[in-house]
Structure 1
Amino acid sequence: MTAVKNPRDGRLRILEGALRRFSQDGVSATTLASLREESGVSVGSFYHHFASKDHVFGVLYAETQRIYQEAFLQELFRHTEARDGITGIVAFHMAWCGRHPERARLLLTERPPRRAEPGGPEVAALRKAFFTEVASWWDPQTERGSIRQVGTLMCYVLWLGAAQETCRLWFAGVREPSEEDVAALSEAAWHSLRQDQSA
């Protein structure tokens, strides 16, 4: 008896192949033909699931962002103390990038899809929900005087900017960060964001 193929298998193979190819070559240098070759699907199978390379990228980017954000929030809400949350997230970010280098490269090096592009509405909705959740942890910390009141952009830069750049250098071929490097990045983030800058 011939097994019935699950149509989701083809979609999954395309996404997995695209993740490998995008990570290796970048989205702009990846061709539709190379995506099909990497995933081992026919032209008909590809277009059954996706309209274009940009469609694949949009779905993959949104999926990767969701996976990262869910893990981020799970780690963040493990901590009730401001210092533990700030330093814990830096360590989490470095560890996540090490465990998922292909997905991390996608988030670190590719421009997110815009609202009018495939995946754009999903990415925007995920980002809005994510920032709302982060704020529900962050705002009480600022009200208690543990963390400085800073805007969203500066919060990102001071909290994870150095860690992001370290990961970019790592993926570009510079040495893998050590435990001491991660500890230093974590402490630097805390000292940048804590309320009492004189301590």
Structure 2
Amino acid sequence: MPPTSRTSVDARARLLDVARRRFAVDGALSATLDEVRREAEVSVGALYHHFPNKLSLATAVYAQLLSEYQTGFLAMLREHDTAEGGIRGGVAYHLRWVTAHRGEATLLLGSRLDSEELRRSNIAFFAAVRDWWRPHQTYGALGPLNIGITAALWLGPAQEFSRHWVAGSAAKLPRGAVATFADAAWAVLRANETEEEVQ
């Protein structure tokens, strides 16, 4: 039994940490709830208090991972003053994140596991992307932002490539992959030939 001083929040955090690690290595279907519970050193009651079934645990892991991905993506965007830098940086961030978190990326690239936490995170994320995008659209470097279309054009090709890469055996991305997808994203999303022409 875990020490009584550990709080319910600690138990939830430990369950998420273990599940995230196990799911990344073995897949969400491999580890049982009881295996996760024992490794996290929490009671049966604590497990079912937080996660009544494996789907609820996997959904929480998915939301946590996507929130962390989005936080890093926004931090990267804020480092870029130019539209081109941000568009290319977004592709580079995505592919480097997938490379650094291959097992976890497999979870995010699979079926979307919807939750209230995920919806809140997405609302905040897309609002922040709009805030970054707006001035670049105003001075003419980028066209209007349509989240579904823009996301597909910006990260869609890199995302589809990522699915193939994580399922394969290559240890590293092919040489030039980041530049190839970054060039393609910028070519399709820019509204003008160069930002210098509109500034």
Compute the TM-score of the two structures, normalised by the length of structure 2. Answer: 0.83
Q: Which residue of structure 1 aligns with residue 197 of structure 2? A: none
Q: Which residue of structure 2 aligns with residue 131 of structure 1? A: 126
Work out which of the residue numbers 152, 164, 170 in structure 2 matches 1:169: 164
Cα deviation, residue 24, structure 1: 4.0
Q: How many residues align?
A: 190
SS at match of 2:28: coil
Cα distance in 2, alignment partners of residues 41 and 55 from structure 1: 17
Q: Which residue of structure 2 aligns with residue 194 of structure 1? A: 190
Cα deviation, residue 183, structure 1: 1.0
Cα deviation, residue 72, structure 1: 0.6
Structure 1, 6-15 or 93-102: larger mean CA deviation: 6-15
1:87 and 1:189 in contact (8 A); partners too: yes
Structure 1, 87-96 or 168-177: larger mean CA deviation: 168-177
Cα distance in 2, alignment partners of residues 163 and 177 from structure 1: 11
SS at match of 2:52: coil
Equivalent position amino acid for 2:143 in 1: R
> Which deviations, in whole Å up to 9, do the C-alpha atoms of 1:22-66 show, x marking residues without a partner?
334443555434433554544334224322222212221221121
Q: Which residue of structure 1 aligns with residue 71 of structure 2? A: 70
> Which deviations, in whole Å up to 9, do the C-alpha atoms of 1:119-145 show, x marking residues without a partner?
x11111110111111001112211211
SS at match of 2:72: helix
What is the RMSD computed on CA atoms of the aligned residues? 2.4
1:147 and 1:193 in contact (8 A); partners too: yes
Long gaps (5+) in structure 1: 114-119
SS at match of 1:51: coil
1:19 and 1:102 in contact (8 A); partners too: no
Cα deviation, residue 89, structure 1: 1.2
Q: Which residue of structure 2 aligns with residue 15 of structure 1? A: 16
> Which deviations, in whole Å up to 9, do the C-alpha atoms of 1:145-193 show, x marking residues without a partner?
1112252111111110111112111110153313511111111110011
Q: Does 1:6 align with 2:6?
A: yes
Q: Does 1:184 align with 2:183?
A: no
Q: Percent identity?
A: 38
Q: Does 1:154 align with 2:155?
A: no
Cα distance in 2, alignment partners of residues 72 and 98 from structure 1: 15
